[in-house]
Amino acid sequence: MQDHITPRRVVILGGGFAGLFAARALRKSPVAVTVVDRHAHHLFQPLLYQCASGILSEGQIAQPLRAVLRRHHNVRCVLAEATDVDADARLVHARRPGGGVVQLPYDDLIVAVGMRQSYFGHDEFAAHAPGMKTLDDALDIRRRIYRAFEMAETAANDRERKRWLTFALVGGGPTGVELAGQIREIAGHTLDREFRRLDPAHARVLLFEGSDAVLGGFGPALAHRAARSLQHLGVELHLGTRVTDIDAHGLTVRDRDGRTTRFGARTVLWTAGVEAPPIAAALARATGAEQDRAGRILVEPDLTVPGRPEIRVTGDVMSLDGLPGLAEVAMQSGAYAGRSVRHAVEGRTKKPKPFKYVDLGSAAYIARGRAVVKAGPVHLTGFTGWLAWLFIHLAFLTGFRSRLGAVLGWSVAFATSSRRERACTMTDTEVPAARAVGPKTSPPS
């Protein structure tokens, strides 16, 4: 029974898909929801690569959390980074951007902090090879891609020019594949006739992947088709390779036979792995919960932390039955957690059914007119896959007022190969120090 004077306090850590869907599920409950995020916006992460490649603007893939939740009168948004949980006192400690601490007492805690880029212990790679998890990452990558062509145009010699025209992507999951396709399209179409001393179409795109296949999660048949599409686009695949070193001028990889090869490349982008932000470890310490190798929290079938029925973990940072880190899993688990709290508030005593993920399919965009889509037994590739991709993304962007703008951006990009959002700063020569150590000091919360 809720107390009618102070409503039950639900603190949601993270305003991504999981956090947003949890908050929405509580819309009509007499609870006081606090959504804590270190970013003020909700990010439509599946389209982040399109922001990086200049098709969409930041505003088209990110909306202020409090604008999205404006009509949710029981929700308060707090811009802060969760740093610790006191599970006995039921208190979250968070840090405000400019310094200063916020303490948030809760009756229910929903953890939806997501994952961040992992460099597998090589955090020094981050300075040379940005990841693709935040809006800042996307803008940094946008700058690096377009600046590379500018630098190639004024290169002092052929060797330097070739290095600027070589792009290396580490990681053959959807993000790496999508970025590789984007760079080849930019080189082959977008920049057509813009340069006088080089042909952008000569740009090399190298994709390094540790396993035997790109898009391994889509199964062997689709992975094979995706690899063929990429090769057709001119992407050079290096499967079964591990990156052993990255610096400002290139990277070194080792293949399965132990041979190491050095590749000159002034642009290296990293999408190879993820790890849980430090707040996950803090939660594990506070509750005795177990973490998997990447730091995800192992949860019960009802998404609660063992022995702490008031704490639920959702989205990418949740470890349950090997569910993948997909937007759809985040949405469904977030909504499940929100509903569970609502049922508890409503006084339902029946034990809830375990969380069951309904696989609505997954999609990866390779290039204009090419995508792979997997929905249960249905496998789509090529142009059919691309149409399905378009339909799915239009449907999911519905909640966004930016849909019209996105359609406009896509129309321009697909019809003319030009990109409306190429503007970026070219003056920075290196990643700012704060970014370089980002993965260590600024976890998402």
Kindly list the catalytic residues: 178
Instruction: Tell me, residue by residue from 358 to 397, as one string, x for binding to its own copies by CB under 8 A and - for no binding.
Output: ----------------------------------------
Instruction: Establish if 106 lies at the interface with its own copies (CB under 8 A).
Output: no
Which residue's CB is nearer to its own copies, number 237 or number 413?
413
| Residue of the chain from 17, 106, 146, 386 that contacts its own copies (CB under 8 A) | 146
| Residue of the chain from 327, 359, 422, 437 that contacts its own copies (CB under 8 A) | 422
C-alpha–C-alpha distance, residues 68 and 59, integer Å: 13
| Residue of the chain from 1, 5, 156, 358 that contacts its own copies (CB under 8 A) | 156
Q: Contact region for its own copies (CB under 8 A) — 226-234, 273-281, 338-346, 403-411?
A: 403-411
Cβ 225 to its own copies, closest distance in Å? Answer: 33
Cβ 414 to its own copies, closest distance in Å? Answer: 15
| Residue of the chain from 84, 123, 153, 359 that contacts its own copies (CB under 8 A) | 153
Instruction: Establish if 437 lies at the interface with its own copies (CB under 8 A).
Output: no
Q: Contact region for its own copies (CB under 8 A) — 16-24, 62-70, 229-237, 391-399?
A: 62-70
Which residue's CB is nearer to its own copies, number 78 or number 345?
78
Instruction: Establish if 428 lies at the interface with its own copies (CB under 8 A).
Output: yes
| Residue of the chain from 24, 38, 342, 374 that contacts its own copies (CB under 8 A) | 38
Q: Amino acid identity of 348?
A: R
Instruction: Tell me, residue by residue from 189 to 218, as one string, x for binding to its own copies by CB under 8 A and - for no binding.
Output: ----xxxxx---------------------
| Residue of the chain from 96, 256, 262, 353 that contacts its own copies (CB under 8 A) | 96
Site residues for its own copies per CB under 8 A? 38-41, 54, 57-64, 66-67, 70-71, 76-80, 96-100, 102, 135-136, 146-147, 150-151, 153-154, 156, 193-197, 401-402, 404-405, 408, 412, 418-429, 432, 434, 442
